[in-house]
Structure 1
Amino acid sequence: MNSFNLENQPKINSGFKTPEHYFENFSEQLLSKIQEEKPVISIFQRHRNWFLAAAAVLILGIMIPFLNKPTDSQSIDDATMENYLAQSNISQYELVNMLDDADIDALERDLAMDESTLESAIEYNGNLENYITE
């Protein structure tokens, strides 16, 4: 193996060269670049799309409870109400006591019978005693 002595061998060029008079004007050039005013870009302008997307998601999140309002008691269909009353332990007397005058008037209008229908119901029904006692 040959011994390698750095001082005796020819030097290898690195391939990099500095321009002439580069270090003489370096500090002046650096100071001029540092002192140049750069335009200030606010965070909102820089990430505008992200802020708009976050605002849209926030607005939708706030609106969801208002869009999913619970149904009113008047919008409950008749079958649901009948099923509820059939499964609850409310007697006829308690149910009648809960009705107000407007409900009673509505029931009278809806359940109005003529005399012939009433007579036929009484004629063919054998348990008239139950209706009389109640």
Structure 2
Amino acid sequence: MNSFNLENHPKINSGFKTPEHYFENFSESVLAKVSLEEKPVVSLFQRRKNWFLAAAAVLVLGIMIPFLNKPSDSQNIDDATIETYLAQSNISQYELVNMLDNEDIDALERDLAMDESTLNSAMEYNGNLENYLIE
């Protein structure tokens, strides 16, 4: 291998050249390119504020769910559902009558009121009157 000494051999050009008087105006050209406008300062609390608002919204929603999802009252249940429940349960007629209060009985009498002519015609065509009297 040949010995190589950097001081004795000619220098190699890098191939890069700087324009003339480049470094004389360098600082002015950089400062001209950089905008001196002040950017708005965003505080760290602003980012936290969004998280606080999101947490508060989730908390309010979590508190409101039980109030919005409360079970319906028995008065809101339709008649077909009650009839189906009573038909499938093992409640006798006597137990049902014992559960009624005076207001319920009055409402039934008003809803099921029948005139005498309808009652007489029903009794004529039905030969099993003893069942109505026993029950």
- Measured against the shorter chain, the TM-score band is 0.5 to 0.7
Query: Do the aligned residues in 2 keep the contact of 1:44 with 1:51 (CA within 8 Å)?
Result: no
Task: Give, in angstroms, the shift of residue 49 of structure 1.
Answer: 1.2
Secondary structure at the aligned position of 1:112 is classed as: coil
How far apart are 1:3 and its partner, in Å? 5.3
Measured after TM superposition, the shift of residue 123 of structure 1 is 1.0
Q: How much has 1:44 moved relative to structure 2?
A: 3.9
Calculate the TM-score normalised by the size of structure 2: 0.67
Which digits, 9 at most, give the CA deviation of each residue in 1:2-60, with x for residues without a partner?
Answer: 55789x999xxxxxxxxxxxxxxxxxxxxxxxxxxxxxx5x643421122112111211
The C-alpha deviation readout for 1:103-124, integer Å capped at 9, x for no partner, is 1111111111111111111111
Partner of 2:121: 120
Identity of aligned residues (%): 83
Unaligned runs of 5+ in 1: 11-40
Partner of 2:60: 59
Counterparts of 2:130 and 2:3, CA distance in 1: 132
Aligned structure 1 segments of 4 or more residues deviating by more than 4 angstroms: 2-6
Q: How many residues align?
A: 104
Residue 87 of structure 2 is matched in structure 1 by 86
Match runs of 1:89-100 below 5 Å: 89-100=90-101
What residue number does 1:73 align with? 74
CA contact (8 A) 1:122 1:128 kept: yes
State the AA in 2 paired with 1:92: Q
Structural RMSD (CA): 2.3
- 1:25-36 equivalence runs, <5 A: none
**Structure 1 match to 2:25:** none
Q: Could you tell me which amino acid in structure 2 is paired with residue 53 of structure 1?
A: A
- The alpha-carbon deviation at position 81 of structure 1 amounts to 0.3
- The TM-score with structure 1 as length reference comes to 0.67
Pairwise CA distance, 1:126: 2.0
Aligned residue identity for 2:123: I
